[in-house]
C-alpha cells in the first residue's frame, strides 16, 4: 500500500467529494470548504478545506455564520496535512475548542480477513434493532465514559432508513455485552469506516477488539470496500499497528458551540 496515494484517495473520496454519511444530511461545497449539514442527530461539520493564509480567516467566519444561524454545534475536522499550517491556531482564535487528536489509520481490507479466537463463552452478535442499539450504547458508555445517546439515535435512524450503510456488532459473554463496534459504509467510496470497538475493562487484552475488526473486514470485503479506515485513539493505535494498519495522518476535531 502506497501511503501517500491512499491518503490522496481518502482526501478525495471521504472528504472533498464525499456523499452524506446518513439520512437527512446534505453535503455541499461552500467557497473553499466542503461541509455537511443536517438535523439532529446528524453530524454537522467541515469535511474538507482548501485554504491559504489569505482566505482562511474569512472562510472560517463564514462557516461559523452558517452553522450559528442554524443554531447548531459543528466540528471542523482538521487533518495534520491541511493548509495553511496554522489553521488550528486560527480556529482556536475564532472560538473553536480542540478535542483530543486521533491517528488516521488505514489498512487494505484483504489483509484483515483472518479469524480471531474468542475467549470461552464469548460470541459475536449482529445488531439490527433498537433493543440492540440500546445495549451497544450502554457498552460504549461503560468503555469510553461518555454519553452515547446521540450515537444511538443516529444508529436507529440508519437502521430504519439506510440499513445498508451500517454494520453493528456486539461481543456477548454469557448473555452480557462486553464490547461493541460499528462500521459506516458510504456508497461510492472505497473506504469502510470502523468506529467504536470499546471493550469493558475486565475483558480487555483478550482478542475481542481484534475479532470485531476481522468481522467487519469480512463484511466490507463482501460489499466491495477496498480499505478500512479508523480514527484511532492512543489506546487503539498500538493494537491497529500490530494488525497492519498504517498511520497516514493525524486528525483533530475542532468544535464550535453557538
pLDDT in tens, 207-239: 999 999 999 999 999 999 999 999 999 989 999
Q: Which parts of the chain sit beneath pLDDT 70?
A: none
CATH of 108-248, one of 3.40.50.10490, 3.90.1150.10, 3.40.190.10, 3.40.630.30: 3.40.630.30
Q: What is the pLDDT of residue 117?
A: 85
CA distances from 111 to 107, 206, 213, 219 (A): 7, 21, 11, 13
Alpha helix locations (H) across the chain?
3-10, 56-70, 87-93, 130-144, 149-161, 208-222, 237-243
Contact call for residues 183 and 190 (beta carbons, < 8 A): no
Contacts of 25 (CB under 8 A, 6+ apart): 36, 37, 38, 42, 43
Which residues of the chain form CATH 3.40.630.30? 108-248
Q: What is the pLDDT of residue 23?
A: 81
Amino acid at each position: 500500500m502506497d501511503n501517500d496515494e491512499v491518503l490522496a484517495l481518502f482526501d478525495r473520496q471521504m472528504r472533498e467529494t464525499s456523499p452524506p454519511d446518513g439520512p437527512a444530511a446534505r453535503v455541499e461545497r461552500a467557497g473553499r470548504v466542503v461541509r455537511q449539514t443536517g438535523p439532529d442527530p446528524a453530524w454537522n461539520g467541515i469535511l474538507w478545506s482548501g485554504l491559504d493564509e489569505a482566505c482562511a480567516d474569512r472562510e472560517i467566519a463564514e462557516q461559523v455564520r452558517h452553522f450559528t444561524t442554524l443554531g447548531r454545534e459543528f466540528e471542523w475536522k482538521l487533518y495534520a496535512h491541511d493548509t495553511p499550517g496554522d489553521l488550528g491556531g486560527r480556529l482556536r482564535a475564532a472560538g473553536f475548542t480542540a478535542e483530543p487528536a486521533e491517528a488516521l489509520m488505514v489498512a487494505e481490507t484483504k489483509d484483515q480477513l483472518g479469524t480471531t479466537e474468542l475467549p470461552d463463552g464469548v460470541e459475536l452478535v449482529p445488531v439490527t434493532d433498537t433493543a440492540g442499539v440500546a445495549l451497544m450504547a450502554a457498552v460504549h458508555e461503560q468503555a469510553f465514559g461518555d454519553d452515547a445517546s446521540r450515537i444511538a439515535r443516529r444508529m436507529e435512524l440508519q437502521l430504519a432508513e439506510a440499513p445498508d450503510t451500517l454494520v453493528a456488532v456486539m461481543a456477548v459473554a454469557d448473555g452480557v455485552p462486553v464490547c461493541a463496534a460499528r462500521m459506516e459504509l458510504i456508497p461510492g467510496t472505497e473506504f469502510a469506516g470502523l468506529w467504536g470497538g470499546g471493550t469493558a475493562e475486565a475483558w480487555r487484552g483478550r482478542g475481542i477488539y481484534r475479532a470485531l475488526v476481522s468481522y467487519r473486514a469480512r463484511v466490507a470485503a463482501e460489499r466491495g470496500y477496498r480499505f478500512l479506515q479508523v480514527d484511532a485513539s492512543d489506546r487503539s493505535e498500538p493494537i491497529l499497528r500490530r494488525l497492519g494498519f498504517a498511520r497516514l495522518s493525524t486528525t483533530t476535531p475542532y468544535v464550535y458551540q453557538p
